[in-house]
Amino acid sequence: MTDDKNPTHTPKDAHYAKLRRAHRDRARGGPAPAADSRKKPPSRPAKPGPADRVRLYGLHTVEAALANPERRLHKLFATRNALNRLELDEAALPCPLELVEPRFLDSELGTDAVHQGVMLEADPLRARRLSDLGQSDLILVLDQVTDPHNVGALLRSAVAFGAGAVVTTSRHSPQESGVLAKSASGALELIPYVQITNLADALGEIAELGFQTIGLDSEGEGELEPSFAGERIALVLGSEGKGLRQKTRETVSVLARLEMPGAIRSLNVSNAAAVALYAARRFMGAKRAG
């Protein structure tokens, strides 16, 4: 029987007592609880790849690169499962294939890379110029947007809304890489990624090609939609933290803001670009319909 004055302690009681002691220790600046032995092991960085090549990974990224006639391919590494998911005919592949285990790709690409069982070694795409804009009526221009994840998302949105190019500076902008291509989810193969030396000069050249250059700025005097004019539009977006540089603000045709009635007054650059691209396409569609 259990004495009411001295009840028997159960394992559950001991567990909660341990938690209470740990809480008191933390409050007093004492020892923290022991680390969980099942804690995820530290991440390993990627190994350096062959010189003058890029390593592309992820199902959509590799599938798009394999289908791009402008991409010079060297070797495909894939697990059997990934090869089946890509639905590729091994006999018709445009480059040599090596079947591997997932741990091989982890060791080559680093444990943080979401490779989905596939990696492609290829040459970087050829450098593109403003002359490659062709008859594009809508482009994105980036003023030192440095995060490859953001630039990849921008490329994806640009393709989704039918933009003709993404223009950025050759310095303070990501070069072609596996991270950039994975974030773009295949879009890097579908749109010119134009890197220029001087952004102010490039904006002048873009304006001479008939583009209205609109800088997105939270302090812009007018809202974006009423600012649209003309047949060709270049949306100019600034870096993640500082926004547009002063020289860029002075060079664009107009500064405009995205009107946001909510408590948060700014968006991630890739989200802001998607909203602006949608608004520009709506304007162009209405103008053609009218």
Specify the CATH number for 130-259+266-289; select among 3.40.50.2300, 3.40.640.10, 3.30.70.20, 3.40.1280.10. Answer: 3.40.1280.10
| CA 77 from centroid of its chain's CA atoms | 23
User: Does residue 22 register a pLDDT over 80?
Assistant: no
Which tokens sit at 47? 């190994």
Q: Which residues contact 200 (CB under 8 A, 6 or more apart)?
A: 247, 248, 251
As a whole number, the mean pLDDT across the chain is 87
Closest CA to 245 of 254, 236, 253: 236
pLDDT in tens, 172-214: 899 999 999 999 999 999 999 999 999 999 999 999 999 999 9
Helix (H) or strand (E) holding 104: helix 102-109
* Percent of the chain with pLDDT strictly greater than 70: 85
CA gap 43, 48 in Å, rounded: 16
pLDDT of residue 244: 94
CA gap 178, 43 in Å, rounded: 17
CA gap 149, 155 in Å, rounded: 10
pLDDT of residue 1: 45
Helix (H) or strand (E) holding 54: strand 54-57
- Are 204 and 234 contacting, i.e. CB atoms less than 8 angstroms apart? no
- Are 240 and 230 contacting, i.e. CB atoms less than 8 angstroms apart? no
Amino acid at 141: V
What's the pTM? 0.81
Question: Count of CB atoms within 10 A of residue 95's CB?
Answer: 14
Q: Domain ranges in the chain?
A: 54-122, 130-259+266-289
pLDDT of residue 5: 44
pLDDT in tens, 242-287: 889 999 999 999 999 998 878 887 789 999 999 999 999 999 988 7
pLDDT of residue 89: 83
Closest CA to 236 of 267, 284, 281, 203: 203
Looking only at the bridges linking them, the beta strands covering 118-122 and 54-57 are antiparallel
User: Does residue 106 register a pLDDT over 80?
Assistant: yes
Which tokens sit at 93? 């592949």
Confidence of residue 109 (pLDDT cuts 50, 70, 90): very high
User: Does residue 7 register a pLDDT over 80?
Assistant: no
Q: The domain at 54-122 falls in which architecture?
A: 2-Layer Sandwich (3.30)
User: Which ranges in 189-242 belong to alpha helices (H)?
Assistant: 199-208, 224-227
Q: Which residues contact 169 (CB under 8 A, 6 or more apart)?
A: 142, 143, 144, 195, 196, 197, 199
pLDDT of residue 227: 94
* Percent of the chain with pLDDT strictly greater than 90: 66
pLDDT of residue 111: 82
